[in-house]
């Protein structure tokens, strides 16, 4: 892919841009297979690899995390350079057109609502980041990460201006990040629109994304991932399935079926409320199995260890740190017959699989979730030996 920002060295975030896309994916597949072979030896040789699921080369990133720099009259939307000055990347080819179209309007809003961009070296100013998510129907969620609530009244005052110029704006919120530290967002979120969640239509399931919940950054590949896992789960035909680290319920809600109980477990209360909303909608739509879906806000490991009954199948999709020794140990000794492990970090995936020698990986697939970077999603189906 050609990127003017990369060529001019304004941005080097996509480290693999000079490598042809198909070659990137082939190299990632080789790296994944070699990591697993190193960690689990012969067990890795039995994995039937499906062809990698290739992403579009550009316009695939449905969530933008942009740093705001410059001044109120000439803001930049992109990244900061080594000196902490703003670099504008509003034409970054990773974003789909309906998302990219929001950047100039939001930059103008900075000027109209007098939102002073946060100056990192000087530790002054208010607006730190713009986080924009695009739903499959074109609706947008925009989050303004601010140092304080100083500008809140001005944002509310000018909200009608913004809605007129950006009619696709469904959710607008202010996230408050008072600390001067290198994180994306703070804990406090103030929703300013009537709607507080973005409806992410994923085939025949609608996931309700609230500002602080996790969502995969490549929606087209996420849809394929949910379909792949639902297919494997249907083949195993379990009566009880757990979806651990379920977020807003993507895997769980795609695995509903007649005579099947699905339980989603996730630490974020908000994400669990969203999953419950989606499940209620599916009950009203008459989806078989929707009334047997249960969502619990809890730590996945603590919750699993507390249960008396062992499920037939477990899906895990942890953060980059993996499931860890405790949950891997529980899965190893639990007697669960089928495990599906979806991971965005093959290093921790390999380590966790090594801790579950009684579970044999039989199928695997690489999903090209993050083109032009060294990252990827890997999903593995495990069966008890
Ligand atoms: C990679 S995301 C997966 C989300 C979901 N499966 C999806 O497809 O969107 C990992 C999720 O794990 C949750 N999480 C982090 N630590 C957790 C824990 N100790 N117990 C349960 N969930 C946790 C995060 O809030 C996040 O939603």
- Confidence tier at 374 by pLDDT (50, 70, 90): very high
Q: What are phi and psi of 35, to 5 degrees?
A: -60, -45
Q: Is the same domain home to 218 and 363?
A: yes
The alpha carbon dihedral of 74, 75, 76, 82 has a sign of positive
In this predicted structure, what is the pLDDT of residue 185?
Answer: 97
Same domain, 223 and 198: no
pLDDT in the model for residue 33: 98
Where b means 16+ CB within 10 Å and e means fewer, 221-254 reads: bbbbbbebbbebbeeeebebbbbbbbbbbbbbbb
Q: What is the mean pLDDT of the chain?
A: 97
DSSP-derived 3-state class of residue 126: coil
User: Which of 157, 179, 209 is the endpoint of a domain?
Assistant: 209
CATH of the domain at 364: 3.40.50.150
Residue 94 lies in a domain: yes
What is the model's pLDDT at position 332?
Answer: 98
- Name the DSSP class of 130: E
266 annotated among ligand-binding-site residues = yes
Does residue 319 line the site of ligand 1, with CB under 6 A? yes
Q: Name the CA dihedral angle for 179, 74, 97, 141, rounded to a multiple of 10 degrees.
A: 40
Residues 110 and 223 in one domain: no
Choose the final residue of a domain: 209, 244, 264. Answer: 209
pLDDT on residue 5 = 98
CB-CB contact of 228 with 382 (8 Å): no
Catalytic residues: 344
- Over range 363-379, report the average pLDDT: 98
CB 109 within 8 A of CB 149: no
pLDDT digits (tens, 9 = 90+) for 168-180: 999 999 999 999 9
Same domain, yes or no: 90 and 147: yes
Please indicate if the annotation marks 245 as binding a ligand: yes
> Same domain for 204 and 275?
no
153: CB partners within 8 A, 6+ apart: none
d(CA 311, CA 303): 13
Distance 307 CA to ligand 1 centre (A): 19
- Torsion angle, CA of 246/249/250/253, rounded to 10 degrees? 120
Is residue 47 located within the same domain as residue 90? no
- pLDDT tens column, 25-79: 999 999 999 999 999 999 999 999 999 999 999 999 999 999 999 999 999 999 9
Which residues, in sequence order, are bridge partners of residue 134? Answer: 140
Tell which of 182, 209, 236 closes a domain.
Answer: 209
Query: What's the burial of 384, exposed, middle or buried (CB within 10 Å: 0-12/13-18/19+)?
Result: middle
Question: Has residue 15 been placed in a domain?
Answer: no
**pLDDT given for residue 157 in this prediction:** 98
Check pocket membership of 246 for ligand 1, CB cut-off 6 A.
yes
- Kindly report, residue by residue over 137-165, the tens digit of the pLDDT: 999 999 999 999 999 999 999 999 999 99
Of residues 344, 376, 341, the one with CA closest to residue 40:
341
Q: What are phi and psi of 128, to 5 degrees?
A: -95, -55
Residue 280 known to bind ligand? no
Tell me the residue range of the domain where 354 lies.
21-57+214-384
Minimal CA–CA distance to 70: which of 99, 103, 111, 102? 111
d(CA 267, CA 243): 12
Same domain (yes/no): 182, 289? no
**pLDDT above 70 coverage of the chain, percent:** 100
Could you say which DSSP state residue 119 is in? B
Do 222 and 254 sit in the same domain of this protein? Answer: yes
| Total of domains in the chain | 2
Rounded to 10°, the helix 346-354/21-40 angle is: 20
Q: Is the CB of 247 under 6 A from ligand 1?
A: yes
**Helical segments of the chain, H only:** 4-7, 21-40, 42-45, 97-100, 102-112, 152-157, 159-165, 219-236, 250-254, 269-284, 300-306, 324-334, 346-354
pLDDT, tens digit, for every residue of 75-91?
A: 999 999 999 999 999 99
Dist. CA 203 → ligand 1 center (Å): 22
pLDDT of residue 93: 98
Q: CA distances (Å), 375 to each of 281, 345, 362, 378, in order?
A: 34, 7, 23, 10
pLDDT average, residue stretch 264-284: 97
Per-residue pLDDT band at 98 (split at 50, 70, 90):
very high
**304 vs 228: CA distance, rounded Å:** 24
Q: In the structure, what pLDDT confidence band is assigned to residue 11 with cuts at 50, 70 and 90?
A: very high
Domain membership of residue 9 (yes or no) is: no
């Amino acid at each position: 892919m050609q990127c003017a920002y990369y060529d001019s060295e304004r941005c080097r975030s996509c480290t693999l841009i000079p490598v042809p896309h198909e070659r990137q994916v082939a190299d990632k597949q080789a790296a994944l297979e070699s990591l697993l072979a190193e960690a689990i030896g012969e067990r890795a040789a039995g994995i039937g690899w499906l062809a990698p699921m290739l992403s579009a080369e550009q316009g695939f990133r449905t969530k933008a995390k942009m740093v705001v720099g410059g001044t109120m009259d000439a803001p930049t939307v992109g990244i900061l350079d080594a000196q902490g000055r703003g670099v504008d990347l509003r034409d970054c080819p990773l974003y789909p057109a309906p998302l990219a179209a929001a950047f100039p309007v939001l930059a103008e809003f900075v000027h109209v609502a007098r939102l002073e961009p946060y100056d990192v070296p000087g530790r002054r100013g208010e607006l730190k980041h713009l986080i924009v998510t695009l739903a499959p129907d074109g609706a947008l969620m925009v989050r303004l990460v601010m140092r304080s609530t100083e500008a809140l009244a001005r944002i509310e005052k000018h909200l009608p201006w913004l809605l007129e110029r950006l009619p696709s704006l469904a959710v607008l919120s202010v996230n408050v990040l008072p600390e001067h530290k290198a994180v994306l967002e703070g804990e406090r979120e103030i929703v300013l629109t009537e709607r507080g969640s973005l409806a992410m239509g994923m085939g025949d399931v609608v996931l309700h994304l609230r500002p602080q919940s996790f969502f995969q950054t490549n929606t087209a590949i996420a849809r394929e991932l949910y379909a792949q896992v639902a297919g494997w789960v249907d083949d195993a035909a379990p009566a009880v399935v757990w979806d651990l680290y379920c977020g807003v319920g993507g895997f769980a809600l795609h695995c509903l079926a007649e005579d099947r109980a699905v339980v989603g477990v996730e630490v974020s209360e908000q994400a669990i409320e969203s999953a419950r909303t989606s499940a209620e909608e599916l009950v009203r739509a008459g989806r078989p199995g929707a009334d047997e879906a249960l969502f619990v806000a809890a730590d996945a490991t603590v919750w699993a260890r507390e249960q008396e009954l062992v499920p037939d199948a477990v899906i895990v999709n942890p953060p980059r740190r993996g499931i860890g020794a405790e949950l891997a140990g529980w899965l190893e000794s639990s007697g669960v017959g089928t495990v599906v492990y979806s991971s965005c970090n093959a290093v921790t995936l390999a380590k966790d699989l090594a801790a579950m020698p009684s579970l044999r990986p039989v199928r695997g697939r690489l999903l090209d979730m993050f083109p032009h970077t060294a990252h990827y999603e890997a999903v593995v189906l495990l069966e008890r030996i």
